[in-house]
A and B are shown apart, each in its own frame.
Chain A
């Protein structure tokens, strides 16, 4: 069980997280309230994390889109009052999912560069902690000792840093090296607001 969990978490980080910004962008275009997208993403991760097996998933990106879509549809159906936009929303959620282009599939080197950039973009103290923890592999206690701060400070800074990294992943901060987003279909759906 613990073993399976570790495997799935690693898979999430490798195959799912890199596509999160695209899934979010798509949700934001389709759903009326931006806040809803955060809920949908969390529930989608819940479904993925609880998968009994990931071996049958050939296209994790498409699978992620599907999971988010099904969570979103469920939320729309659950809502007691449905906005007129909902009809459009359900249509938008049906938009054919784009296939991952080869450039988008993160190769090992690309992945490493991305991790490097994520850490480099952290505020000074966070960045030092993440470098010691993740590059040099020092435990949190040792980091606290070297920096002359309490473990609690290291914990707080780590929380701060990891949240910043999650936010960067959500925004697609690291997609700058990916292929330019396909603009034609995006512009068509961006009529709201």
Chain B
């Protein structure tokens, strides 16, 4: 899906074939090559027909019998605008760079309900902090210590082998050197999702060696039992980290689970009145701060109805 050929690449190829065919009859080998190419993707057939159509349409110009056409002025205006837009893109990319001076610091970062923050840490790491979270960051000479008492955060850790980066949440510890991962405090333990590199996770209350968790893996570290077996779930991880863009991505989650997820972000809570709907499976891509449109979309998909009263978004079964 990621490797999908772009429409522009297809068009370039299609145009090439049309121009080549215009040089004279295609050889048998060329013809076979073209046919093979066309069969590969319906978009190729479409692009080829479109290019042929445009090429043929230009034959109307024969009626002009050599009268040179004057240059269109509006074309210049258009080009100017396009250049300007390209320029803006470069400027935006340049703005994304952040300069940080390394310093020994201690800082607390908190987010309110529904708030999502990205903060650069003093060591060059980056933290994305999800709703309703408290994070205490202390940079020590031999340790980068991050306390996560509640909530969830994702870290892009700057490489520094001399100073491991350790997230502490209750007795749970997650250690990294240079990598990217998230930790979410839950009842009785933490969810750890690794997006790059490797981390080590354990619970201080339990003996035993730390568990290594690699990129694309997730693990639940119980306060009292320690780490479970890591599960490989790269797509799942991307989905679960959609909150960094203010989104919730559902892929077959139960309505009740999804509603609880929305309720993490909003003062207006979704309440499911009938248990019969709680297990309905949902697929979709939503904004964390739009619980009502989520509730309406969900309800309409299984025939429920939505009433909003004060801070309650009530979903009931339809008649």
Residues of B within 8 A of A41 (CB): 7, 46, 50
How far, in angstroms, from A26 to B294 measured CA to CA in the complex?
26
Residues of B within 8 A of A130 (CB): 58, 61
Count class of interface residues, chain A: 35 or more
Contact for A135 among B22, B23, B48, B66, CB less than 8 A: B66
Q: Does B68 count as interface, using CB distance less than 8 angstroms?
A: yes
B75 engages A45 (CB within 8 Å): no
How far, in angstroms, from A133 to B11 measured CA to CA in the complex?
21
Given contacts A135-B66, A151-B23, contact A119 B61 (CB under 8 A): yes
Q: Does B188 count as interface, using CB distance less than 8 angstroms?
A: no
Contact for A49 among B7, B45, B67, B285, CB less than 8 A: B45
* Main SS at interface, chain B: helix
Residues of B within 8 A of A13 (CB): 53-54, 56-57
Contact for B7 among A39, A121, A140, A171, CB less than 8 A: A39
How far, in angstroms, from A69 to B70 measured CA to CA in the complex?
38
B57 engages A14 (CB within 8 Å): yes
A42 engages B69 (CB within 8 Å): no
Q: How many residues of B contact A (CB 8 A)?
A: 60
Given contacts A87-B297, A116-B64, A171-B78, contact A163 B283 (CB under 8 A): no
Contact for B251 among A47, A80, A139, CB less than 8 A: A80
B50 engages A12 (CB within 8 Å): yes
B49 engages A173 (CB within 8 Å): no
Interface bits A113-137 vs B (CB < 8 Å: 1, else 0): 0011111110000000011011111
How far, in angstroms, from A48 to B48 measured CA to CA in the complex?
12
Interface bits B68-82 vs A (CB < 8 Å: 1, else 0): 111110110010000
B23 engages A134 (CB within 8 Å): no
B53 engages A9 (CB within 8 Å): yes
How far, in angstroms, from A49 to B20 measured CA to CA in the complex?
20
Contact for A169 among B6, B45, B54, B69, CB less than 8 A: B54
B7 engages A38 (CB within 8 Å): yes
Instruction: Write the nearest CB–CB distance from B9 to chain A, whole angstroms.
Output: 11
How far, in angstroms, from A35 to B60 measured CA to CA in the complex?
31
How far, in angstroms, from A16 to B53 measured CA to CA in the complex?
9
Contact for A46 among B7, B42, B59, CB less than 8 A: B42
Give the contacts of A30-50 with B (CB-CB under 8 A). Answer: 35, 38-39, 41-50
22 residue pairs A–B, Cβ–Cβ below 8 Å: A9-B52, A12-B50, A13-B53, A13-B54, A42-B7, A42-B42, A43-B46, A44-B46, A45-B46, A82-B285, A86-B285, A87-B297, A112-B60, A115-B60, A115-B61, A117-B72, A119-B69, A120-B71, A134-B61, A162-B15, A163-B15, A173-B74
